[in-house]
Amino acid sequence: MKYALTLEYDGGGFAGWQVQPHARTVAGELATALARLTGESPAVHAAGRTDAGAHSLGQVVSFELTRDWEPARLRSGLNAHLPEDVAVVEAGLVSGTFHARFSAIRRSYRYLVENRESRPALLRGHAWHVRRALDLEPMRAAGAALLGRHDLGAFGRDPGGRNTVRMLERLEVEPARAGVVGFELSADAFLYGMVRRIVGFLVAVGLGRRDAAEASALVVPGAVCTAPVAPAHGLYQLRPRYAEAIA
C-alpha cells in the first residue's frame, strides 16, 4: 500500500530535510521512526527539500509499505517515535501513481520578517529580524514585476541543471501585524534558494538599498541578483496542492 504523510517541523535543530552523514536531518528522523514502528525501510519521497534551519507547516512525503496500516494508527505510532520538533499531522492512503514531489501542482511558502528595532525573543530563530522600518509599497511594486512565467535564474538554480523558467503565481507582501511582515509566494515549482533570494531582494528594496524598477531586469536569462539572501530561519514550507486527495 502507498501512504502519504503531512509533517510539520521546527527546522532549527536540523541540517535540512535530506539525509546527510553525521548530521541530524528530518528525513533521517522519519526513516528511524518508520523502521522502529513498521520494521520496514521504504524509499521516502518528499514534496521538497528544506534548507538547514527552515521550517515546514506541510511537508508531504509518500512511500510504500508491505504491511497494511490504518492511517490514524500509522500517524499516532510515528508520532510516538519522532522527536518533539517533528510531528505527523495527517496520514492517508494514495494511489500507486502518487508521488509527493512530482504529483504536486502548486507549491507555496511563507516567510516572516520581524520588523522592529528591539531584538526578538518569541520569534528568535523563527523570523528574520530587520531593525529599520520597511517601506512596503516599493516592495509590492517590485514583487508585482516578478509575477508570471519568467526566467528566475537570478534568484535560484535548478538542482538538476535544467531550465530556470518558473510560473510565479502569487507574491503577497502583507501589512505588518505586531511588527511582523509576512511574505507568501506560490508557484508551479521553485528553484533552489528562490524564496530566500526573492525576499532578500524585496527587503533591500524596502530599505531603499535597491530600486523597485530593478525587478524587471532580474527576470531575463543571465541576470544575477546581488542582494543579500534572507536567512533560512524565517522560511516556512506550506502544504503543496495535489489533484489527488489524500484519503
Q: Greater confidence, 51 or 159?
A: 51
pLDDT at 33 over 80: yes
All structural domains of the chain, each given as residue ranges with its CATH number in brackets, are: 2-102 (3.30.70.580), 106-237 (3.30.70.660)
Kindly write down the DSSP assignment for every residue of the chain, as one continuous string. Answer: -EEEEEEEE-GGGSS-SS--TTS--HHHHHHHHHHHHHS-----EES-PPPTT-EEEEEEEEEE-SS---HHHHHHHHHHHS-TTEEEEEEEEE-TT--TTTTEEEEEEEEEEEESSSPPSTTTTTSEEE-SPP-HHHHHHHHHHH-EEEE-GGG-B-TTS---EEEEEEEEEPPPBTTEEEEEEEES---BTHHHHHHHHHHHHHTTSS-GGGGGGGSSTT----SPPPPGGGEEEPPPEESS---
For the segment 123-138, the average pLDDT, to the nearest whole number, is: 97
pLDDT in tens, 92-114: 999 999 999 999 999 999 999 99
Give yes or no for residue 160 having a pLDDT over 80.
no
Model confidence band, residue 161 (pLDDT cutoffs 50, 70, 90): confident
Q: What is the mean pLDDT of the chain?
A: 96
Residues noted as catalytic: 51
Rounded to two decimals, the pTM is 0.94
The confidence score (pLDDT) of residue 85 equals 98
Q: What pLDDT score was predicted for residue 121?
A: 94
- Give per-residue pLDDT as tens, 38-60: 999 999 999 999 999 999 999 99
